[in-house]
């Protein structure tokens, strides 16, 4: 169920995001995933929320965590599925299968990059998409949850 009184937000990160900070910094910036987690934890505290930040390089793990978010009564999921965004019907189906709202998050703006990044299976089912603001995309998505936009 989508419980708007729930306080915990799952923040799920897909493949190669463990290398943030080192990986193509001209595109993704210099912040590491730990830096983003710290920034988000501070902002969540101010907003009366908590975050559960995770990263995996495995598609099925993201599917399992989406199911878990609903089972554990999370308020919402922020999902940066990275390259699986553009390939994964399994993630599209998982987002459709749960009532927990999912916000699609990207550091870069995939729509302005290579053609193969223009399709987003995640975006077909996500309640909202926040992209192109670097690490701030995560903060903007968190604030959208706090503001009741999803
Ligand atoms: C990304 C964009 C994707 O196209 C890419 O595969 C990523 C990161 C982003 O946050 O900008 O790995 O999701």
**Ligand 1 atom closest to residue 80's alpha carbon, by position in its atom list:** 13
- From first to last of its 150 residues, the chain has per-residue pLDDT tens of 567 789 999 999 999 999 999 999 999 999 999 999 999 999 999 999 999 999 999 999 999 999 999 999 999 999 999 999 999 999 999 999 999 999 999 999 999 999 999 999 999 999 999 999 999 999 999 999 999 999
Instruction: Give me the catalytic one of 10, 84, 106, 138.
Output: 106
| Threshold 0.95, pTM exceeds | yes
Annotation marks residue 106 as catalytic: yes
Annotation marks residue 28 as catalytic: yes
The H-or-E segment that residue 8 falls in is strand 8-13
- Cβ neighbours of residue 40 under 8 Å, at least 6 residues apart? 11, 51, 53, 138, 139, 142
């Amino acid at each position: 169920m989508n419980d708007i009184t729930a306080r915990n937000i799952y923040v799920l990160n897909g493949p190669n995001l463990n290398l943030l900070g080192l990986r193509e910094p001209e595109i993704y910036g210099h912040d590491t995933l730990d830096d983003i987690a710290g920034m988000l934890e501070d902002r969540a505290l101010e907003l009366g929320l908590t975050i559960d930040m995770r990263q995996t390089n495995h598609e099925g793990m993201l599917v399992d965590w989406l199911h878990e978010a609903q089972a554990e009564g999370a308020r919402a999921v922020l999902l940066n599925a990275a390259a699986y965004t553009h390939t994964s019907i399994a993630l599209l189906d998982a987002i459709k299968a749960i009532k927990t709202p999912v916000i699609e998050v990207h550091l870069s703006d995939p729509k302005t990059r290579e053609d193969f990044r223009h399709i987003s299976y995640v975006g077909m089912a996500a309640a909202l998409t926040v992209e192109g603001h670097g690490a701030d995309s995560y903060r903007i998505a968190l604030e959208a949850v706090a503001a009741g936009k999803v």
